[in-house]
């Protein structure tokens, strides 16, 4: 891979399956399936470089192994209070276990050069009025923040 990349490139990656890179978006995009579900993976890589892809995949693999632990950290830090104080309404408060079971991972965004090296996006439609819950992590997988988007 070099600076004279085609407008689009598709590779079969050993860990992530088929990845499609487009020059216009500067991203690798793929879909991952596992026993716990299916989600999209987006790796920001402006130049389509092998080095950035490899670094990003290693970070992704570390993050996905720790995903449930990271989600629990976010629930304790902000998400449980956010839901129970602002969104629960008449349906009543939910505990950590119930929130864990209702939040489904839908996207992992990896940007090794960005403020948030990893973002986990969860389908929180039924919980947060159509919004997606986004948990932001640094390159050491340290929890930084969470937001509702969309």
Distances (CA, A) of 50 to 62, 112, 115, 118: 19, 13, 21, 19
The pLDDT averaged over each successive group of 10 residues in the chain (150 residues) is 69 90 90 86 86 92 95 94 90 91 94 92 90 96 94
Structure tokens at 70: 């990271």
Contact (Cβ atoms closer than 8 angstroms) between residue 119 and residue 42: no
State if pTM tops 0.95.
Answer: no
What is residue 131's predicted lDDT score, i.e. its pLDDT? 94
- 74 touches 146 (CB < 8 A): yes
Distance CA 89, CA 4 (A): 54
pLDDT value, residue 63: 95
The residue written with tokens 């590779």 in the block is 11
Residues 6+ apart with CB under 8 A from 91: none
Which string of DSSP letters, residue by residue, matches 31-79? EEEETTEEEEEEEE-TT--HHHHHHHHHHHHHHHHTHHHHHHHHIIIII
What pLDDT does residue 1 have?
52
Residue 14 has what pLDDT? 87
Q: Which domains does the chain carry?
A: 8-34+42-58 (no CATH), 66-149 (3.30.505)
């Amino acid at each position: 891979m070099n600076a004279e990349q085609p407008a689009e490139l598709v590779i079969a990656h050993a860990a992530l399956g088929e990845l499609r890179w487009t020059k216009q978006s500067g991203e690798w995009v793929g879909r991952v399936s596992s026993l716990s579900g299916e989600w999209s993976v987006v790796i920001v890589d402006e130049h389509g470089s092998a080095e950035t892809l490899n670094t990003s995949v290693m970070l992704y693999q570390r993050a996905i192994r720790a995903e449930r632990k990271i989600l629990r950290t976010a629930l304790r830090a902000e998400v449980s209070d956010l839901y129970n104080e602002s969104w629960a309404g008449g349906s009543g408060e939910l505990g950590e276990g119930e929130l864990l079971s209702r939040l489904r991972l839908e996207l992992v965004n990896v940007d090794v050069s960005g403020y948030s090296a990893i973002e986990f996006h969860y389908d929180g439609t039924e919980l947060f009025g159509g919004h997606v819950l986004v948990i932001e992590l640094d390159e050491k997988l340290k929890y930084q923040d969470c937001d509702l988007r969309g």
